[in-house]
Structure 1
Amino acid sequence: MKGLEIRDAHFPGRAPLDAYGDGGFRFAEMSHRGSLLCVPSGIYGWNLTTPAEFRLEAFDRVIEEQPDIEVLLVGTGPDLSPLSADLKGAFREAGILADPMSTGAAVRTYNVLLSEGRAVAAALLAVD
């Protein structure tokens, strides 16, 4: 008998986000507690909780999928927090327009751009 296998949270494919708040998100008839990274290859759990944790390594998956991402919406929690100059520069160099905004605004914008078939990704901090 095989031991318990623990995998990173992952939903293969793209899906609109149905709800956010209470520390998580709902999408594709599922719920996820914590932050999310939504990229073309799927929706992944993201272990960040505050904008202070934004480092380039946290966005590795976004950079890896760059040919399929033109716009990255960064949900910075209940309020807008600007991205550091280093992060903005790294995204610019990769050909990605990174747009920070509150998580609520990012969710709404993501859903609109996704429905239009745009090359969009989202990095979303969970909010209460």
Structure 2
Amino acid sequence: MAMRPTDFAGAVPVDGYGPGFFRVADKVHQGPVLVMQSGAKDWGGLDDRAPLLALAGQVDVLFLGMGAEIARAPADLVAELEQAGVMVEAMASPTAARTYNVTLSEGRRVACALLPV
């Protein structure tokens, strides 16, 4: 799938993370978080699929942070998102946050859903 450029102005990167939290745009989010170019919101984790599916048409790739260690994303979740047009890249949450920030800075249409470390 081709990645389409977007306007980077006002984009929201992940500022930091620690045990059980993520900091985005100077706001601390306890637990899982979904970060998009427009901002961040608390997320219910892997079973909370509606916010991820709502990304269809808005992002090309979702970086899925699986926690402190790399793990496979649930195959049915990946299939459901890919059918909706959202490619999924699963990795450890710190790596997903960094990859999201770099790819976002390149002006790409990306988001990240992060499970706490």
Q: Identity over the aligned pairs, expressed in percent?
A: 39
After superposition, the CA RMSD in angstroms is 1.6
Q: What's the counterpart of residue 8 of structure 1?
A: none
Separation (CA, whole Å) in 2 of partners of 1:90 and 1:117: 25
Q: Hey, what does 2:5 align to over in structure 1?
A: none
Runs of 4+ in structure 1 off by over 2 angstroms are: 39-42
Deviates more, 1:110-119 or 1:27-36: 27-36
Give TM-score, length-normalised by structure 2: 0.83
Equivalent pairs counted in the alignment come to: 108
**What's the secondary structure of 1:67's corresponding residue?**
coil
Shift of 1:41: 4.6
Relative to the length of structure 1, the TM-score reads 0.76
Query: In the alignment, is the contact (CA less than 8 A) between 1:40 and 1:121 conserved in 2?
Result: yes
Displacement of 1:47: 3.0
| 2: CA distance, partners of 1:47 / 1:105 | 20
Q: Tell me what 1:60 maps to.
A: 50
Q: Post-superposition shift, 1:30?
A: 2.2
For 2:54 and 2:16, the matched residues in 1 are separated by: 27
Instruction: Provide structure 2 residue ranges, at least 5 long, that are not aligned to the other structure.
Output: 1-9
CA deviation profile, 1:75-122 (whole Å, cap 9, x unmatched): 000111112221121111111110100001001001001111111011
Name which of structure 1's ranges 72-81 and 87-96 shifts more when overlaid on structure 2. Answer: 87-96
Q: Secondary structure at the match of 2:79?
A: helix
Question: How far, CA to CA, are the matches of 1:19 and 1:41 in structure 2?
Answer: 17
Counterpart CA distance in 2 for 1:41 and 1:59 is 19
Q: Does the 8 Å CA contact 2:55/2:86 hold for their aligned counterparts? A: no
Alignment correspondent of 1:31: 28
Q: Which has the higher contact order (CA 8 A, sep 6+)?
A: 2
Give matches, 1:3-22, under 5 Å.
14-22=11-19
Structure 2 residue identity aligned to 1:78: A
Query: C-alpha separation between the residues in 1 aligned to 2:91 and 2:55?
Result: 22
Q: Which structure has greater helix proportion?
A: 1
Query: Conserved in 1, the CA contact under 8 Å of 2:58 and 2:109?
Result: yes
